[in-house]
Amino acid sequence: MTGFSAFSGFRRAVRLWFVPREIRAEGTTPDYRFSLANERTFLAWLRTALALIGGGFAVDQFLPDLRWGWRVGLALALLTTGVLCSLRAVNHWVRVERAMRRGEDLPVSRFPALLAVVVAVVAVAMAVVVLLGWEG
């Protein structure tokens, strides 16, 4: 796939985020229960993103005695993961909706594993900070 072709595919995917009626032009309408389940999954991903973003702000605001590098690093890890999670939510929703309409297998993703690893790494870092104390 050429660079232009990849960019064009990405642009089309993002366009579908904001013009979902174009998805209806593909395939046939799936059972509404599956579409609603897809939407509930989307909302669960958004709740996860909001929790990560809230955790990032909490680390920054409520741990002022934590060394600056630790505080900023942990906060940015959580905030960045929250942003990626929210973007992944809408991308996944579109991909699943299109697959259902086309009668294809549902798309697979490494993102849940990546998200789990990032959260685990941040949790271990926080455990280290708690065990060693956080005063600079």
pLDDT at residue 20 in the model: 80
pLDDT at residue 85 in the model: 96
Q: Hey, what's the torsion of the CAs at 26, 27, 31, 35, to 10 degrees?
A: -30
Amino acid at 63: L
Question: Helix, strand, or coil here: 105?
Answer: coil
| CA distance linking residue 120 with residue 81, whole number of Å | 12
pLDDT at residue 130 in the model: 79
- Domain span holding position 43: 3-132
Stated pTM of the model = 0.82
- pLDDT profile of the chain (136 residues), mean per 10: 69 85 89 94 96 95 87 94 95 94 94 93 88 69
Nearest to 111 by CA among 130, 129, 95: 95
pLDDT at residue 2 in the model: 63
Tokens of 63: 């741990």
| CA distance linking residue 122 with residue 30, whole number of Å | 39
Number of domain units in the chain: 1
| CA distance linking residue 59 with residue 54, whole number of Å | 9
The answer to whether 107 touches 39, Cβ cutoff 8 Å, is no
